[in-house]
Amino acid sequence: MANRSQLRARLASIAPVGGGLALVGLAAYVVLALAGHTLNPRDYAAAASMFLLTAIVGPGVFAAVEQQTNHEVSARLAAGVDPAPAVRAATVVAAGLAVFMSLVVLALGPLLVPRAFAGHTALLAATVVAVLGAAAAYLLRGIFAGQRRFQWYGISLAGEGLGRLLPCVALALIGWATADRFGFVFALGCAVAAAVTLPALRRPDQPTTRNPDSPSPAARIPAGAASGASAIDAPGGAPVRLPRMAASVASLACASSLTLLVVNLGPVVLTSRLGTDRADAELAASFVSLFLLARIPLFLFAPVQAFLLPALTAAAERGDLGLVRRQVRTALLAVAAVGLPGVLAAGLLGPWASRVLFHAPTELSRLVAALLGISTVAMMAAQILQPALVALGRNRAAMAIWVVASALFVGLLFAPIAPLSAAVAAQLVAPTLVCLLMTLTLRAETRARTAGGPEVRSGGAQPIEPSVTNSL
């Protein structure tokens, strides 16, 4: 009966996130489908490039704030400590990062507007709006995930999805569809998500006691932990060290933005490398459509780290490496169960579906579709391996892996071969390399901790640096 009750409780926490995620995914694809059916190929490719670039400079960066806030809040609650100082520090870091990323986007404007955005300056402004909205939405999601208030996490996702879906449908129905308007509606999704969940911060139902599944405070705080990178404060709630938290988020933002760069940059670079004639515009639009279809399974795993990270962290800090390995193994089996049928579907139906759903001008080959599907499975596996490395305190190793893979990815994207071949090769090789290196690093770490005994495991209880994530 106890197991059945725990299962019901877990399903109750997963259901709101699953429903919200479904709305986010549906909105993204409906918006892009409407853009494909209402815009000319060049404007559609420009709008889609803005959507994909937004994922890199929005979720790609501010997922770092979410994951670090999640980690700080959940760890402080596990220790019976007030999480408010961590929330305040995360808010300051998110605001600073939002300003910095807005300036970066504006600085890149002379490169983005004429090529990737087809001359649409308004799409550059929409990208800045998306950055500011993502800063607020992902900060709030980190707080909710750390408090395990997953119903509010789900409401945030639902607000983002509906905030994009309903206005875009209205634009299409009344005949006001343009690349600029689609771009601004898409950008405002995260702002809507933040607006609908902000009142939850003032609700009195926030948990202030230790989660029963977490280790006790005495077991939770090893000797010397007060000097760790994210300062799980001693009982009493000493203020979080802002510079250390900022450094942790910066390191994580680098890793998570590189993750999203590998996930989403291919179509943007392909669009910029192709010419401006009709044939090139149609090829760019067709590749974007097929690429987005192949990425559908990735949406199913977008918030997986919000669930995995607290559980893996607690297991690692207890020294329960067997549980860490079992959780990772189970999650990877789930990736195979979702991803492999996705590869088959992409290879068989992807080119046809891209024409029907996104009004793609041409059908690309089934081989291209299947290879893009394989790259999606590799990215899903990386989403599982990253939280495990984070929980074991190997954040820098995760970031180094993404740096190496991203360098290879960019090199392949700009290789002196046909742009389509370069884009497909980059999307396939880089994620595969990430999975290989992360698997080897995770295996070496668990073996070292097992061989080192309790002393090594205690030292590994510093997964209090950054964490890593992804999304479209």
Domain ranges of the chain: 8-201+241-459
Tell me the one-letter amino acid at 118: A
pLDDT at 217: 40
Q: What is the phi/psi pair of residue 215, to 5°?
A: -65, 155
Using CA atoms, how far apart are residues 378 and 214, in angstroms rounded to an integer? 31
CB distance 87 to 144 below 8 Å: no
Of 26, 32, 25, which is closest to residue 51 (Cα–Cα)?
A: 32
Contacts of 373 (CB under 8 A, 6+ apart): 294, 339, 342, 343, 344, 345, 346, 347, 350
pLDDT bin (cut points 50, 70, 90) of residue 275 is confident
Mean pLDDT, the chain, integer: 81
Contacts of 11 (CB under 8 A, 6+ apart): none
Using CA atoms, how far apart are residues 65 and 272, in angstroms rounded to an integer? 30
Of 163, 92, 107, which is closest to residue 130 (Cα–Cα)?
A: 163
pLDDT bin (cut points 50, 70, 90) of residue 17 is confident
What is the percent of the chain with per-residue pLDDT over 70, rounded to a whole number?
82
Ranges 121-125, 250-254, 351-355, 402-406, most confident: 121-125
Instruction: State mean pLDDT over 364-378.
Output: 93
Query: What's the whole-model pTM score?
Result: 0.74
Q: Is the pLDDT of residue 210 over 80?
A: no
pLDDT at 301: 66
Q: Does residue 244 or residue 401 have the better pLDDT?
A: 401
